[in-house]
Amino acid sequence: MRNMTLNKKDAILYLLDAGCNINHQNNDPQTAIIIAAENSKTEMLTLLSERGADLNVRNSVNHKNVAEIMADKTASSSSYVKREFIICTENLLKKVVSAANVTQYCILILIVDNQFNLIQRLIFAGASPSEISQSVLNTCNYFYISTVGLTVSPFRFALMNDKLQLAQYFSSICFLTPSDCSYQQYIICREHLTKKNFSKCVEFVDDLYSQPMSLERLALITVSSLIGPGLTREDKVKGLPLPTKFKDQRLFKTESTLILDTECEVIESTEVMDYIPFLINLNNYDVSDSEMSDYYGYEPDDFDYSVYDS
């Protein structure tokens, strides 16, 4: 274990060749590959994974495996090492490693970084849609959120950051939360997009919300929300009395989840600061819950869109 923290590759190879138990746990308890991940030793991670280390073993602190640890590190890393971390994390996820315990904060930052391929792999490996809360946003020093109860979905956050391709992807695979069905949230989001002059995003949401969602789509979103995220999600979905098709859709184990056709530019995560004022003031918009609390109880023709065109 000490050789792992010191990054002594030759010593590790010698011990493995001598028959050392690659999944041995120390007193914490932690295995060598968990220690390698927590110390950002990507070369050691590659070596240990190739030699048969258990990739789904979880640490004792926050119950994360190596892929989830590296995903979090990728989200918080500088551009200097980000590409190395992305490659390492994607290679781990290719080995059928679970990502069920990846944080929503991690997803948020990867959205800002436009890491389309990595986000796809995390979703395919078990990451699930849920609202990003005030407490999650406050985990980074440059977030200051004063509004109590503020939440935003990955779908709307992608739109707010002008990541149209990601928003379209989330919509296409139904990686959505119940709030994404809300006409009220559409109006709030649309106002932000209009002010930012994100015209393509405005066109997309206008088309998306021009008619009610299908009952099948609403059912999928509702079931997903009731099950919730986390380590038990997959077992809960598999236990549902539903056709395999719907179970696969809720676990995002379909061909449409992994399209992997985009090379995204690595950018600094601090760009998210540009959008925090909107998040802080989200609940200050004068939209009455009694007037339009539900998409299906509100007619688009009754809303004056001219206020957004001035």
Does residue 270 carry a pLDDT above 90? no
Please state, as a whole number, how many other Cβ atoms lie within 10 Å of the Cβ of residue 61: 10
* 154-168 pLDDT per residue, tens: 999 899 889 999 999
The pLDDT of residue 122 is above 50? yes
Asked if residue 111 lies in contact with residue 269, where contact means CB atoms within 8 angstroms, the answer is no
Whole-angstrom distance, CA of residue 293 vs CA of residue 273: 29
8 Å CB contact between 207 and 191: no
pLDDT band at 78 (very low <50, low <70, confident <90, very high): confident
Q: pLDDT tens for residues 21-41?
A: 898 888 777 899 999 999 999
**What's the whole-number mean pLDDT along residues 99-108?**
90
Please write the tens of the pLDDT for every residue from 276-290.
Answer: 333 333 333 333 333
pLDDT at 184 over 60: yes
Greater pLDDT, 66 or 138: 66
Calculate the CA 194 to chain-centre distance: 25
The SS3 call for residue 132 is strand
Unique residue bearing structure tokens 């995002």 = 252
Q: Is the pLDDT of residue 141 over 60?
A: no
pLDDT tens digits, residue range 220-262?
Answer: 999 999 999 999 999 999 999 988 988 999 999 988 888 875 4
Instruction: Report d(CA 63, CA 29) in Å as an integer.
Output: 11
Give the percent of the chain with pLDDT over 70: 76
Q: What is the mean pLDDT of the chain?
A: 79
Mean pLDDT of 169-175: 96
Distance CA 235, CA 240 (A): 9
Going by pLDDT thresholds of 50, 70 and 90, the confidence category of residue 119 is very high
Quick: pLDDT tens for 195-225.
999 999 999 999 999 999 999 899 999 999 9
- Please check the confidence at residue 140 and state whether its pLDDT lies above 60: no
